[in-house]
Amino acid sequence: MHDIDELPYFNKFTDQFLIRNYDFQLGNPGLLCAEVDGLQVIIKYWLNRDEDQTEILKEIWLYEKRQLQRLKGCPGVGDFISPIHESYTDKHGFYLVINSGTRLPLAYHYELISQTLQIKRAWIFNLKQIPNRLKFWRNISRIVSAIGILHSQGLLHRHLNLDSILTDTTADLDFQLTGFEWSIRVQRMSESKVLNESLEKIRDSFSFLTDWIDLGHLICRILKINVEEISKSDFKIDELIVKTGLTLNEIVFIKGMIGVIDIDKSISSKVLNSDIALNKIKEITSDLDELLQKSPEPLAIAFLFNTSSIKTHKIIGKTSVFNAVQHILHEKHSIYLKEDDFSDLLEFINKDIKESSLTKISNNGSDDEYLLIGSQLTYVISKNKISRQDLDGHWDVAFCHSAYLSQPKNINPRNRKIKIQRYIQCVIHTNKSELQRINPHPWNEYIDNLNLPYEKDEIAKDLTTGFAAYHLTEIAFAKAEIYPIEVVSYDLDEDDPSLYNVKLRTRIDPEAETVSESLSIKSPAVRLKKIFTENGEYSRWMFLSNSNFNDEDHEIVLDFLSKQSKDGDVIYEFTTSIPNPDFKSPFIITSSTQGTISQLSRRAAAIDALSQHDELISLLKSPHKWITNSSENLILHKSFEELDSSKRDVFKNVMNTLPLYLVQGPPGVGKTYLVTTLVQQVFSSEPNSRLLLTAQSHSTVHHLFNEVNKALDKEHPENNPLLIISCVKSGSHDDDVDPNLKVDELARENIENLISSELFRRCPSESTKSRVHSLNSIGNRSGRSTLVNQLLKSANLVFATTNSKQVEGLIKSRTQFDWSIMEETGKVTGLELLSPMLLSHRRLMIGDHKQLPPYASEVMRKALGNTDNLKKALLFSQDIYNNNIKGEFVKKKLGQEALDSFTDQDYIDICNEALRLHLLFETLINEEETALKSSSKYYGDAKKHKPVASMLEIQHRMHPVIADVVSEVFYNKKLSTSLVKKDFYTKNNKPFHFDTSSEIAINSTPIVWIETPDVQANKGTQSGDRMPQWNNPFEAQIVVELIKMLNVKAGVTKPPKLALLSPYNKQIEKISNLIDREVIKGLNLDSFIDLPPVLDTTFS
């Protein structure tokens, strides 16, 4: 089947027209423009005629699809690269649907212009005009940015030509890069070097450099420049400028791109990358802007005067220009103009707009309005239409018939305003001869600048500002942990002259009190006293000069000695080796708070990255809107057969869904087993894949690392070819303690392999060998940092904690993985999940919001839910000058000017968004349930629903009765027990029993509830809580009595485990002390695996 009209897949598309047929001989894809679901798209297709070619076509199709998916998830990609809408394959061929909007390939526009005679050509075909060339170079900068993104991911385009650029020639700034069927991925250690070789030799191979050369040749073609002439080193640049009409910087840029000369002689190393190219384009546009300003051509406005004068003093809002001028003249001079006195009208307007600026506002329910702001009136301008047949109009001349007496209320500091530098000629709309005489300069450059994408559009305002608001609230909480104190004494220690004895007491600080009040927490003095009363482990403190997270000149560490009361004051005694710094208003924080500050800096960096990541912003705003089918026809890995039925269904959903899927995993359902199967599947399909696996806790990351390694070792028992890196040192509980030690060990291992190699032995350069030996020195970790970073960027598998230093480094280096798999997502905040989400276009969240919530989530949600509290948190941030903690987004977009412009509704919206993003996993699960109900209600069933989440419903750990209780209370009776586990517990395999008179009752049930009398409801009871909080001696004694009844069954060979859990540390201490006493008295727990039993808090 060769006729595309007969292809079944195309039946769902409307308004089709063929751009180019499929080339069977060369394999170049066919292109079809069409419409689907209200979107204008380009369908790229490869037809399957020869069965021998099917696999080759499939690989080309699959490769481009994956590149588009990967690139879509890159930060900063914006709309520089054409996004994929969907993909499909059938027996007839392979299809990629590109969401191109009204854009078409530039090659198509060139073919069209050669076949038709057009009176008014598009700007791209008239580049001699400076405004059009400005537009061209600004569009080329979009392509340069797109190539830079490709190269940052180790991708070469290799096929830059007129087909690679999509554009709508009636638009202004819209160039998009496409055509990735021939792109390849390479690994690199540094930027591409400019080679001193002939172009022919360079073209024998492909590199980052050849992409830039291709772009240079493409620019030459568009600007109609002879490549051979501009490539000649002996062709004088002056002659080229005269012949081409280009500026010096344009000529230098093009010659530099095609490799004839150095593009920038100020750079010592001869490199070429997107940053250098963009800077040179800025110089070009600056030159062209300067030429425009020197141009004598004025701007022009054609006025249509509606002379139906309204002689009233109550004109408000928008009216005709005539009425607006009349009103001003009457108000100031008590005169009215005659209806035909156009010369005086124009004279007034000319004076009014002598110094003016242009802005744009959005009116609800209507098109945007362009406003020219004069000194007295604000004029509404639009495209001028030459005739009734000119339906679209143009900006060669502006048209105006109405004005505002005062600036509209929806003009605020957020509106971009551009100062008009040119003289503006005002003419009557009907005076066409005058318009021809003055030959006006087009308004396009000003309109283009107004229409440049806002750095913070509405979605970013809602979503990124929501993250920022939560972040600033976290900063406020961290600020509340900085305690104001005053120095009672700071003297040399009597026993040790090398130390100082420091005595401090709390002081009242108005700002600290306000922060505490706004967060609904107790005052600093009360909380500090509680810390020293209940948490003696905080023995090390930092002495500070301020509470605004500013860097201190010298770090002053205080070691806690004692707490004592004197004359009603609580005096805290410390020791230090640093002399008294004489701080005017000192503060103290715990040493652990320093770690919190590092975490805050990482989160600020993640928010900054998000503000440049349009795809992730859109996804998190409306996940269901952006979910697509991956269209992968996978050969399932053999481990799939070992999954239970629930995991199989979830596994298929995960593999078939892009760019996000959530898996809710109740206790014991085998979440880790699902992950290991997924990893095996990915590497069996794509051996060169790169995966990032993260979790909140070190123990979970370490467990994942071990389980995944075991599974992969079975695949490659002799030698695993994958590069696997764990950034979590076994037994480590701190991201900032030797954060790269594990990777550094791997780097040294690679260097040692090099040193022991034959290549190294035969190296003639002793200095090179010496440098390599130096890198291998244990103390030279800084020297190995480049290698460490390259290992992380090149690894097939990276394991790290969610908010670790390594993840932060990967974001900064713009690293992208093929998958980002996040564990424990129900117990972390959305802001913590942001970092791993930024690192891949394909994201899997696994967690359970029904289990442990994020730390202090209730207190945080209380603060986020109050707009007054949010206002104060944003206000506090203005006094914090540590930009690492605030981040660039907060600094630039949430400054005092922005806060002043926010309305009450803005604050309500930001609060709601911050609350939504706080518990992100729970939010997305709940939104999935709502979407499923809505879809089922609308369609009558759930067949058309595109899920973004599902639950693992079969557990393999708990007793069936316990599982049923958990299922009923937390999971709407959806959680069931595997048949194997049911069979195990049916056979009464319990390894212990209770020796008690009520033996049958207590030994026959999996769950035993013991009710203790309530102090409030029962007079005289002694079972209540005791000080210090929180401990209950009565309940602790009951636990010990139960333990005394426990015995291991006869014949049990494997000692059972005993765990005691309580919500409170003090209760754990109480039970532990009681058990120790009973052991001394003769209690024998040797039959159990742990001695003493496992004791921990339920929130650990």
Q: What is the pLDDT of residues 3-25, one digit of tens each?
A: 777 889 999 999 999 998 888 87
Q: What are phi and psi of 1065, to 5 degrees?
A: -60, -45
CATH superfamily for domain 123-295: Transferase(Phosphotransferase) domain 1 (1.10.510.10)
Residues in the chain: 1100
* Mean residue pLDDT across the chain: 85
Higher per-residue confidence, 930 vs 189: 930
Task: Count Cα atoms within 13 angstroms, Cβ side, for 893.
Answer: 23
Give me the residues paired with residue 484 across strands.
587
C-alpha to C-alpha distance for 736 and 743, rounded to whole angstroms:
14
* Burial per residue of 617-649, b for 16 or more beta-carbon CB atoms within 10 angstroms, e otherwise: bebbbebbebbbebbeeeebbebbeebbebbbe
The pLDDT of 504-526, averaged and rounded, is 92
pLDDT at 735: 46
- The model's confidence at residue 191, banded by pLDDT at 50, 70 and 90, is very low
Topology classification of domain 609-857: Rossmann fold (3.40.50)
375-396 pLDDT, tens per residue? 999 999 999 988 877 778 889 9
C-alpha to C-alpha distance for 425 and 437, rounded to whole angstroms:
12
Into which CATH architecture does domain 1-101 fall? 2-Layer Sandwich (3.30)
Q: Give first-to-last CA distance, the chain, whole Å.
A: 64
Angle between helix axes 830-837 and 920-939 (nearest 10 degrees) is: 80
For residue 194, pLDDT over 60 is answered with no
Portion of the chain with pLDDT greater than 90, in percent: 42
90-134 pLDDT, tens per residue? 888 888 899 998 999 999 998 887 666 555 678 899 898 888 899
When mean pLDDT is compared across 329-333, 387-391, 853-857, the lowest value belongs to 387-391
For residue 51, pLDDT over 70 is answered with no
For residue 897, pLDDT over 70 is answered with yes
Where exactly are the structural domains of the chain? 1-101, 123-295, 299-440, 475-599, 609-857, 990-1097
- The model's confidence at residue 1027, banded by pLDDT at 50, 70 and 90, is low
Phi-psi region at 1020: left, alpha or beta (left = phi > 0; alpha = psi -120 to 50): left
Higher per-residue confidence, 461 vs 212: 212
Question: How much is the CA Rg of the chain, to the nearest whole Å?
Answer: 35
* Burial per residue of 24-38, b for 16 or more beta-carbon CB atoms within 10 angstroms, e otherwise: eeeebbbbbbbebee
pLDDT at 712: 92
Phi-psi region at 246: left, alpha or beta (left = phi > 0; alpha = psi -120 to 50): beta
C-alpha to C-alpha distance for 14 and 37, rounded to whole angstroms:
9
Handedness of CA 257, 262, 267, 271 (dihedral sign): positive
The pLDDT of 569-577, averaged and rounded, is 93
pLDDT at 1099: 47
The pLDDT of 186-190, averaged and rounded, is 40
